[in-house]
């Protein structure tokens, strides 16, 4: 069992308890450069098995990065918002659908907000977000 499978299995009861009516599950995409460096998208490794366990349509290609962004680590809330502004584009399959976007960590919510804006612009009816973790200010983050 991979780490992604293990995390997904632990998240499954919680997500089921939310009783969200979801059409598409989409992980936050990495930039081409980060994908090339890493060789994998860590959030997709959790989102895919979780979507499968929930019986959701997994559609990672329906959200793409339109611009490479610098790492959010160490950025203020405003810098984070500016960094990911208009960073994403959503595909046609989201129109009229309820979408669940996945990310690994939420600090200020800037990445999720930017992704949600792209999904809404492409016609998504409802958008839910799920993260594995929430970063807390006491862990060295500035002005979040």
Cα dihedral angle (51, 52, 58, 60), rounded to 10 degrees? Answer: 80
Mean pLDDT per 10-residue run, the chain (144 residues)?
A: 90 96 95 88 96 96 82 68 78 98 87 94 97 74 49
Let me know: does 43 contact 87? Beta carbons within 8 Å: no
CATH architecture assignment, domain 3-135: 3-Layer(aba) Sandwich (3.40)
Structural domain boundaries of the chain? Answer: 3-135
pLDDT at 78: 72
pLDDT at 51: 97
pLDDT at 21: 96
Let me know: does 27 contact 102? Beta carbons within 8 Å: yes
């Amino acid at each position: 069992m991979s780490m992604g499978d293990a995390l997904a299995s632990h998240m499954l009861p919680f997500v089921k308890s939310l009783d969200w009516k979801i059409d598409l599950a989409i992980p936050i995409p990495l930039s081409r450069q980060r994908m090339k460096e890493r060789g994998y998208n860590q959030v997709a490794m959790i989102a895919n098995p979780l979507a499968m366990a929930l019986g959701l349509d997994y559609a990672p290609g329906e959200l793409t990065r339109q611009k490479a962004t610098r790492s959010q680590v160490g950025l203020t809330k405003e810098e984070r918002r500016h960094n990911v502004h208009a960073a994403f584009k959503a595909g046609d399959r989201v129109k009229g659908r309820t979408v669940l976007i996945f990310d690994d960590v939420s600090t200020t919510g800037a990445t999720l907000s930017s992704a949600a804006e792209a999904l809404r612009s492409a016609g998504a009816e409802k958008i839910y977000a799920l993260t594995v973790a929430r970063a807390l200010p006491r862990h060295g983050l500035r002005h979040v």
